[in-house]
């Protein structure tokens, strides 16, 4: 974590517009004093084996290997390991209320390299992976080898053609420019996939649209939801409203603090019914 990110936590904690709970002790313990991804990530990597254009990564406590595109820096690998595998990290998707339990059907929205899906595969029922950036297409296929359904699409509020713009590893869906991609909705996907018990989402600012396109899924299945809320444009209260407009009984909690676009934002929103 960079010095600017740590400084941003202090700004966010004391910001007058901060509208979510977090204690100064949490900011210090899990933010300011947290080790960096470069320090934490390698603890989860047991071995790296050259496989041509890919690397085979053996991860701690995961029986199946991960395949990683060789052209992508190990810095990104360590960041993903920290986010997906290190429980003390604010970005971690599983908390007691939103853990994947035996046989639950999982949709991994914005899967990137697929570490989250790989980490829950032994517990989950069926898994579907959505990742629009083509840089991970070959490695995802090698990692999951038919064990998960892989969709090279983005998720939004309606089905259409859009673009992936910005940094491709952290690309954002754009309606005007970038690499052409297909966008679908979780509701459309559910029609063929079946019930969805767990939604994990990190879609770089399209979180509102994803939830808007999942109303029927939320109503029918009451899935657990672990969704990022720190991107520019994210409004965690709006996300809660989008879900509670469909099922008022959903409970929630936020986790972490970040300072993005001049606003204090939580890092994660966890919701369950």
Q: What is the pLDDT of residue 168?
A: 67
Q: What is the pLDDT of residue 219?
A: 98
**Whether residue 232 has pLDDT greater than 70:** yes
- List 66's β-bridge partners, or say none: 57
Q: What is the pLDDT of residue 249?
A: 96
> 3-272 has which fold?
Rossmann fold (3.40.50)
Give the list of residues 6+ apart from residue 79 with CB closer than 8 angstroms, or none. 37, 41
For CA atoms 93, 94, 95, 101, give the dihedral sign: positive
| Ranges of each domain in the chain | 3-272
**Whether residue 3 has pLDDT greater than 70:** no
The DSSP secondary structure of 183-251, one letter per residue, reads EE-HHHHHHHH----EEEE--TT-HHHHHHTTHHHHHHH--EEEEE--STT--HHHHHHHHHTT-TT-E
237-264 per-position pLDDT tens digit:
999 999 999 999 999 999 999 999 999 9
Q: What is the pLDDT of residue 164?
A: 92
Q: What is the pLDDT of residue 1?
A: 58
Q: State what percent of residues in the chain have pLDDT above 90.
A: 91
**Whether residue 166 has pLDDT greater than 90:** no
Q: State what percent of residues in the chain have pLDDT above 70.
A: 98
Report the mean per-residue pLDDT for the chain. 95
Give the mean model confidence (pLDDT) for residues 103-129: 98
Query: What's the rounded Cα separation, in Å, for the pair 100 and 33?
Result: 29
Confidence bin at 174 (pLDDT 50/70/90): confident
72-101 per-position pLDDT tens digit:
999 999 999 999 999 999 999 999 999 999
């Amino acid at each position: 974590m960079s010095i600017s990110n740590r400084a941003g936590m202090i700004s966010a904690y004391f910001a007058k517009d901060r509208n979510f709970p977090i204690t100064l002790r949490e900011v210090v313990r899990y933010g300011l004093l947290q080790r960096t991804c470069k320090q934490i990530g390698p603890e989860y990597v047991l071995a790296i084996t050259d496989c041509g254009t890919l690397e085979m990564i053996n991860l701690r406590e995961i029986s199946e290997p991960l395949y990683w595109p060789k052209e992508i820096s190990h810095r990104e690998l360590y960041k993903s390991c920290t986010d997906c595998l290190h429980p003390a990290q604010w970005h971690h998707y599983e908390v007691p209320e939103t853990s994947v339990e035996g046989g639950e059907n999982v949709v991994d929205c914005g899967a990137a390299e697929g570490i989250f899906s790989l980490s829950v595969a032994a517990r989950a029922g069926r898994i579907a992976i959505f990742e629009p950036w083509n840089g991970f297409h070959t490695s995802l296929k090698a990692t999951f080898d038919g064990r998960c359904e892989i969709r090279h699409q983005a998720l939004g509020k309606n089905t259409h053609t859009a673009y992936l713009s910005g940094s491709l590893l952290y690309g954002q869906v754009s309606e005007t420019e970038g690499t052409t991609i297909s966008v679908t909705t979780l509701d459309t996907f559910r029609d063929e996939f079946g019930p969805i018990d767990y939604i994990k989402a990190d879609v770089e600012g399209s979180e509102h649209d994803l939830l808007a396109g999942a109303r029927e899924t939320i109503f029918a299945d009451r899935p657990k939801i672990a969704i990022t809320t720190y991107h520019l444009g994210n409004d965690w209260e709006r996300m809660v409203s989008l879900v509670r407009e469909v099922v008022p009984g959903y409970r929630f909690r936020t986790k972490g603090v970040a300072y993005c676009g001049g606003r204090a934002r939580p890092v994660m929103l966890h919701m369950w019914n």
